[in-house]
Amino acid sequence: MNNEQSYTVLIQKPMEEISWDDENFIEELLQVAQLFRPFSAAITEFITEHGYRGDRDDALAKEIFIRAAFAGKNMEAPREIREWFTDGQPIKRETAFLICFAFDLDGGETDEFFRQVYARERSFNCHRIQEAVYYFCLNNGISYAEALDIQRQIPLSAQAVDERVYTGVIIAELNKLETKAELIAYLTDNIDLFSEDNVTAYETIRQLWNRIASPEGLLIRESRSLPSIHDDTVTGEKAGLRSGTEGMRSWDAYLAIFQLAKKEVRKLETDRTIRPLIRKLHEQAQDSFPDRQGIDLILHGKHVSYERVRKLLVLLTFYMFWARTALDRGGYAARPADADRCISHMDQVLLEAGYPELYVGNPYDWIFLYAASSDEPLTTFRYIWNELLLLTQEEHQ
């Protein structure tokens, strides 16, 4: 078993040992957050797999090794390499691509680097000229210097086109090309296709949101047919939801997915956000966590970060799967094969939108993988957030 496998086993183990009805469940959950490795540990594991044989705790030795890899490819190394190991400094997206070129990764290996080492966002967004070039070059063993040369030969301007062109279509065309000359000709002739990105992901989110928050969407149907955390068990009164002719308000729908009571969240004195709850979790899970503002921006076609898009896709596909399953069966209990079906479905949606599959070593993904593996996934997921709300309220008071 290599170190990567050992790490994933370490992270997966609590899924089998922690139950949401444990007396100290939230404390146990927050302890799991301490197990996730920082980027410094992930990049150390990466260079060890690529020939580093020095002391894993020697920041200078690791810096020298990485700089040598860049020098071997006639590339200028990032200035801040030492800080990755001494100050916990994360890397930027462009730096992640540079590392992939320096260590001679192919396209599939680059995908895995983004998923396991960078552990956020997506790898190639081939709706961007620069990353379409990176995709072709890394898949064909072409150097970073040549990638830059190709980019310099492509026109800089592009005009929006009426027809939406999905990323998968562009990737299929790139896969047909064999030479740099063919790539340059394709990009030049089709420059207008690269004026808009994230088309598939945005369209998927809009479709999911409509099915979830429309006047007869999943949230309304669920509130009518299934028990809620906020039902009054004494009077039998149900905690119903309201919807206008155009569907639920985004903030109401957002809270309903988590089954968080608006009046309780309001006590935190925040402006329509559950950020205080998220701070309890890992910093990486907190980064770009889905929020009401992000939903509104995407629904109105505004640009948001890749990480914000990916995390919203994960949240909505998770809710969609388990809410539909619960409504079909009249209850929240899962069957043995449901977890695998859910995870496969979520992975498929992410891949089709150009984003990496779920990864257990990602603190955000772990929450959903943990909930999916429980007896009542949607109940477990909501219980986590309601317990975090209670804990946050106690500290706030």
Predicted confidence band of residue 196 (pLDDT cuts 50, 70, 90): low
Burial degree of 69 (CB within 10 A; 0-12, 13-18, 19+): buried
Burial degree of 155 (CB within 10 A; 0-12, 13-18, 19+): exposed
Out of 57-71, 118-132, 182-196, 236-250, pick the least confident: 236-250
Q: How far apart are CA 323 and CA 211, in angstroms?
A: 11
pLDDT of res. 235: 53
Neighbours of 325 (CB within 10 A): 19
Q: How far apart are CA 83 and CA 90, in angstroms?
A: 9
Average pLDDT score over residue span 97-125 = 92
Neighbours of 315 (CB within 10 A): 22
- Reduced to 3 states (helix: H, G, I; strand: E, B; else coil), residue 244 is strand
pLDDT of res. 179: 95
Amino acid symbol at 358: L
pLDDT tops 60 at residue 177: yes
The predicted-structure confidence for 351-395, as pLDDT tens digits, reads as follows 888 888 999 999 999 999 999 999 999 999 999 999 999 888 887
Q: Which two tokens stand for residue 137?
A: 């070059």
Average pLDDT score over residue span 261-271 = 84
Q: Which of 353, 373, 351, 364 is nearest to 119 (CA)?
A: 364
Neighbours of 347 (CB within 10 A): 15
Supply the angle between the helices 377-396 and 363-372 in degrees, to the nearest 10: 130
Query: Are the C-beta atoms of residues 323 and 343 closer than 8 Å to each other?
Result: no
Q: Which of 165, 97, 114 is nearest to 351 (CA)?
A: 114
- Reduced to 3 states (helix: H, G, I; strand: E, B; else coil), residue 360 is coil
Average pLDDT score over residue span 81-91 = 90
- Reduced to 3 states (helix: H, G, I; strand: E, B; else coil), residue 243 is coil
Average pLDDT score over residue span 196-209 = 88
pLDDT of res. 151: 93
Q: Read off φ and ψ for residue 247, nearest 5 degrees.
A: 110, -175
Query: Are the C-beta atoms of residues 136 and 122 closer than 8 Å to each other?
Result: no
Average pLDDT score over residue span 165-172 = 80
More reliable by pLDDT, 272 or 109: 109
Q: Which two tokens stand for residue 57?
A: 């705790």
Helix (H), strand (E), coil (C) string for 362-375: CHHHHHHHHHHCCC
Predicted confidence band of residue 200 (pLDDT cuts 50, 70, 90): confident
- Reduced to 3 states (helix: H, G, I; strand: E, B; else coil), residue 247 is strand
Neighbours of 331 (CB within 10 A): 14
Predicted confidence band of residue 157 (pLDDT cuts 50, 70, 90): low
Percent of the chain at pLDDT above 70? 93
Predicted confidence band of residue 217 (pLDDT cuts 50, 70, 90): very high
pLDDT tops 70 at residue 47: yes
| pTM of the entire predicted model | 0.87
The predicted-structure confidence for 293-314, as pLDDT tens digits, reads as follows 999 999 998 989 999 999 999 9
DSSP structure class, residue 354: T
